[in-house]
Amino acid sequence: MEITNIYTAKGEPLPGGVEHKTILTSGDRLQCLYYKVPFNPEKDVMDGAHPHPAEIVYFVLDGEVEVNINGESAILKKGDAMLIPFNAVMGTKALSSTPVETLAVASPNLFRERQKAEEDHNH
């Protein structure tokens, strides 16, 4: 059994002071990612928005965050969760004065499987 502590796991910094860590991974089948997003009143929710090539379950561990999915916004707070659809364009903005902490659980292999199926269908 693999046990990982969110706060001692190593990760790569992202732009804007965001902490990003892969907490657990099950080969190509499943990943659990941790994000810690600092408050920045100048940031727009769509700054850095991009498509996510997987279906994602997004959990808010602490703080309050605005999440924009394909042009629709919602406010999530500690204890809330949201399902992000496959290939949705997602942007986030921390709303609380303390950093927002989130977990994203996704299947990174889903994108590869769908891409392969589309390629097979087109040939």
pLDDT digits (tens, 9 = 90+) for 17-46: 888 888 888 777 788 889 998 898 888 888
CA distances (Å), origin 87, targets 55, 67, 118: 7, 15, 14
Report pLDDT for 112.
Answer: 54
Give the architecture-level CATH label for domain 12-122.
Answer: Sandwich (2.60)
Q: Of all residues in the chain, what percent carry a pLDDT higher than 70?
A: 87
pTM: 0.80
DSSP strand pairing (72-77 vs 64-69): antiparallel
User: Locate tokens 């810690």: which residue?
Assistant: 36
In contact, 48 and 59? CB cutoff 8 Å: no
Show me where the domains of the chain are located: 12-122
d(CA 84, CA 40): 23
